[in-house]
Structure formats: C-alpha cells, structure tokens
Amino acid sequence: MADRTPWSLSGALRGMFQKRTIDDETWDDLETALLKADFGPTVTEQVVDELRANVQRYNTTDPKDLQRMLREAMEERLSKYDPTLKLTERPAVVLVVGVNGVGKTTTIGKFAKFLKTYQRTVVVGAADTFRAAAVEQLATWAERAGADIVRPQHEGQDPASVAFQTIEKAKANGTEIVIIDTAGRLQTKGGLMDELGKIRRVIEKQAPVSEVLLVLDATTGQNGLAQADAFIQHAGVTGLVITKLDGSAKAGFVLAVQEKTGIPIKLIGQGEGINDLTGFTPHVFAQNLVG
C-alpha cells in the first residue's frame, strides 16, 4: 500500500514519531510536512495550534500521542461531510460530469465494476456522443466490468436521447443502477451546461437523479478545481470523485477540495486498473495519511 499512497505523510513524519520526546523541532517538522503536502497555511496553522494545545492539556511528551492526535484531527476534518453514495432509488441514476482528461471514462468503468462486486446490476449510457473514441473506450470498460451499455446510434446523436434510452432499458430489464457519461468539452462551457440541464430534465421525466458525481484530477490541484467551477455552479453536483491519487497528488488537496466546495468526496481513484476505485472513508484515509 505504501507505494500507492504517495500523499501519505508517514514518510515525512516517521523520524518525528520515532523520537523519544516532543520538542520544538517536532512542531517545525509537522508544519513543514503539512505545508509540503499542500494543506495551505491556514489549515496548517490551525492543526498545529490545536495539537499544541492538546499536547499541553494532556500533559504528554510522547510523540506516539501526537501521532494519534494528528490522525484524529485529520479524520475529524475529513468527516465533516457524508461520503455515502445515495443509490436507493430503482433505478438509481448517476450522472458523471467533469472536464475531459480528468479520468471520467476510466472512473465510470471502475465504478461499474465496484458496483458489480456489490452484486448490483449496472447499465452505462454513453451520452458523450461527439467523441466516437470516447464511446468505444467506454464500451471496452463496460464490457470489462460486466455492465450493459447503451450507445448512440450515430455520432452526435442528442445526448439527452441516449440518456433517455438508457433509463428505458434499465426499467425494461430491472437494472438497478444507471451511470450516464457526459461530455467534458471545456471550450463550450455555456453549451455544455445547457446540454447537462437538458439531459437532467429528460432523465427526470422517467426517474429521479440520485447522484451527480464530479470527477476531479488530484494532480492538477487547485487549478483543476477552478476549471470545474462551472459544474459546481450549474450541475447540481452531489459528490466528488478524486482520481489519480496514486500520482504526484498531495493529500492537502483532498481536504481543501471538500472544504472549498462543501461537497463530499464519495469515491477515490488510485490507479488505472479496473479495481483501483474505492469509497472514501475518512477513517481509512486519515490512517493512511498519518500512519
């Protein structure tokens, strides 16, 4: 697991936690590690101050106590939002949105597989109808995941009609979960938001939308967040999927993205393989982060 969590602080903090006692250097090391991991000056200062106060209150000099306190502080911050996927409707419709290149198609494949391992039946709708290659890529993922797929009948077919047909098929077959892929062409932001609005209206004539998942690439950091702003403003996003956490990602992004958007992280992607997607569990994340 260690090689798959480059965002973990445990390497940077190992020396600190192995010391015999908490000293002035400890606080400097902690501050440096948090800043390096992109938690930003505000969160870093808050966490360091909180831990200093706790160490004083509990009158401890044991770095192991500090490690536990740091883990708990991170978990508490990460737990402010509910990461549970709401998929109780039948069918449960999940719209997946995001800018091209963030890992949207890959995420849908992995998500279909994730749901299949929980014995859910899944159909994927390829409503990004202008990129023939994207449809093919999605079809390959769906096949790997053992999920059904509804493709456009011709390139450029109205995305809303593909979404409509996907839900029709789910209803006819009693399929439990519908995942709709959508376009992510950033250069046509206004048009894209109108298109998403139309897809949503058409879907809602047949079934409620259970989740709108926005896919964000952790390696692009705050810049990626700025690019995704239109989705946050206009697409009714209910959850975030953070991809590429196996890359050069910094853990601070995960915390910052929830606090900045107020939207819970629901899934995290940590690799290009079909099994490299997991639910977001603050307890596990904090454990991996701090050790």
Q: Which of 77, 113, 200, 244 binds ligand GDP (CB under 6 A)?
A: 244
CB atoms within 10 A of CB 290: 22
Q: Does 236 bind ligand GDP (CB under 6 A)?
A: no
Q: Does 220 bind ligand GDP (CB under 6 A)?
A: no
Q: Which of 270, 282, 285, 286 binds ligand GDP (CB under 6 A)?
A: 270
Please indicate if the annotation marks 117 as binding a ligand.
no
What is the Cβ-side half-sphere exposure of residue 97, based on CA atoms within 13 angstroms?
Answer: 29
Q: Quick one: 66 or 268, whose CB is closer to ligand GDP?
A: 268
Binders in 150-179 for ligand GDP, by CB under 6 A? none
Q: How far is the CB of 197 from ligand GDP (least distance, A)?
A: 20
Q: How far is the CB of 250 from ligand GDP (least distance, A)?
A: 15
Number of residues that bind ligand GDP (CB under 6 A): 18
Pick the closest to residue 248 from 1, 57, 5 (CA basis).
5
For residues 86 to 115, the per-residue mask of contacts with ligand GDP, x marking binding by CB under 6 A and - elsewhere, is ------------x-xxxxxxx---------
Let me know: does 127 contact 180? Beta carbons within 8 Å.
Answer: yes
Residue 244 tokens, joined: 């590429």
Please indicate if the annotation marks 245 as binding a ligand.
yes
Please indicate if the annotation marks 246 as binding a ligand.
yes
Report the alpha-carbon distance of residue 49 to residue 260 in Å, rounded: 21
Strand order in the sheet with 265-269: 148-150, 122-126, 177-181, 92-97, 209-217, 239-243, 265-269, 277-279
Q: How far is the CB of 23 from ligand GDP (least distance, A)?
A: 39
Q: Does 269 bind ligand GDP (CB under 6 A)?
A: yes
Please indicate if the annotation marks 98 as binding a ligand.
yes
Let me know: does 67 contact 26? Beta carbons within 8 Å.
Answer: no
β-pair type (265-269, 277-279): antiparallel
Q: Quick one: 243 or 288, whose CB is closer to ligand GDP?
A: 243
Please indicate if the annotation marks 103 as binding a ligand.
yes
What interhelical angle do 104-117 and 132-145 show, nearest 10? 20
DSSP category for residue 87: -
Residue 133 tokens, joined: 């290659």
Q: In a 3-state reduction of DSSP, which class is residue 42? A: helix
Q: In a 3-state reduction of DSSP, which class is residue 126? A: strand
Q: Quick one: 30 or 102, whose CB is closer to ligand GDP?
A: 102
Please indicate if the annotation marks 181 as binding a ligand.
yes
Please indicate if the annotation marks 101 as binding a ligand.
yes
Q: Quick one: 37 or 216, whose CB is closer to ligand GDP?
A: 216
Residue ranges of the annotated binding site for GTP are 98-105, 181-185, 243-246
Residues marked as binding? 98-105, 181-185, 243-246
Residues that bind ligand GDP (CB under 6 A): 98, 100-106, 184, 243-244, 246-247, 269-272, 276
